């Protein structure tokens, strides 16, 4: 059995790859030999990340795609089939959140629906488009959140979508097992990213209560989520499917009321 994290000659498709967890994951795959397809609506950033990966000595392609749109997702799959043939890995990482626009009762309906369209139906669209192309078997990793297991106020369809991803993963794990495709979920906690991880990070006073609850006393980095994702896609996880791996620095298991008034992150980066 191969116990290495080696993805040479594999084709990895990563959605939401222009920033945050998706970006870190795409670069990690490229650094370990995979050819990487980056999928995102942000063309400028996506092309920059693709260039970074190409400089690692592997093939990389950015495809501008709104995964909430089924037709765009099918077009993306057609391009991948033409350019790369068989994909081996799909990481569904694209996600949005409008936590500043209300809750389940009063958020504008178009935003409420958009969250579900991107965070849940976008994953479904990508699986429906790409799983039939994975003729050699492979791995699918869906990015959920600890908010799929517990709720941060205000509650919106964001939490609904992240919970739905857990059910989607289990259903797909059963359905795709006969095709030798493993399907798992990574559920990140408080992660310092350019996107949703930064929403509540504008002021230190806002972050401190979160840091006090996290036993490791800091938010995670996108690269620290990429690692577990790569594990699920490697031969090390060949007998794991339908599982959820929480990566939150111990946030959910901690019932301690407070770690103290002054929080000094373990790492020097003030954003953590």
Among 28, 170, 147, 31, which residue's Cα sits nearest to residue 95?
147
Question: Running DSSP on this structure, what letter comes out for residue 243?
Answer: -
Is 158 a catalytic site residue? yes
Question: Running DSSP on this structure, what letter comes out for residue 47?
Answer: H
Catalytic residue, from 158, 210, 239, 251: name it. Answer: 158
Beta strand 35-40 pairing with 60-64: parallel
End-to-end Cα separation, the chain, in angstroms: 37
14: Cβ contacts below 8 Å, ≥ 6 apart: 22, 25, 26, 29, 36, 37, 38, 39, 91, 93
Coil vs helix vs strand at 82: helix
Residue with tokens 């992240």: 162
Alpha carbons within 13 angstroms on the beta-carbon side of residue 190 total 26
Rounded to the nearest 10 degrees, how much is the dihedral formed by the CA atoms of 21, 24, 29, 31? -170
Q: Annotated catalytic sites, by residue?
A: 158
């Amino acid at each position: 059995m191969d116990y290495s994290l080696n993805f040479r000659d594999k084709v990895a498709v990563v959605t939401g790859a222009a920033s945050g967890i998706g970006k870190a994951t795409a670069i990690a795959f490229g650094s370990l030999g995979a050819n990487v397809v980056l999928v995102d609506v942000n063309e400028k950033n996506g092309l920059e990340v693709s260039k970074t990966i190409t400089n690692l000595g592997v093939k990389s392609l950015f495809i501008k795609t709104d995964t909430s749109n089924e037709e765009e997702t099918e077009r993306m799959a057609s391009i991948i089939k033409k350019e790369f043939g068989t994909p081996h890995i799909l990481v569904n990482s694209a996600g949005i959140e409008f936590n500043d626009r209300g809750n389940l009762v009063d958020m504008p309906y178009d935003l409420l629906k958009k969250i579900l369209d991107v965070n849940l139906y976008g994953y479904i669209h990508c699986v429906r488009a790409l799983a039939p192309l994975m003729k050699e078997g492979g791995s699918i990793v869906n990015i959920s959140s600890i908010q799929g297991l517990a709720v941060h106020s205000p509650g919106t369809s964001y939490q609904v979508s992240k919970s739905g991803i857990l059910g989607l993963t289990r259903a797909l794990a059963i359905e795709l097992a006969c095709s030798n495709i493993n399907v798992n979920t990574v559920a990140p906690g408080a992660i310092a990213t350019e996107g949703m991880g930064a929403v509540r990070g504008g002021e230190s006073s806002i972050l401190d209560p979160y840091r006090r609850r996290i036993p490791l006393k800091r938010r995670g980095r996108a690269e620290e989520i990429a690692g577990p994702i790569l594990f699920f896609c490697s031969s090390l996880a060949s007998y794991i499917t339908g599982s959820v791996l929480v990566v939150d620095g111990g946030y959910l298991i901690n019932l301690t009321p407070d770690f103290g008034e002054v929080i000094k992150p373990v790492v020097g980066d003030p954003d953590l």
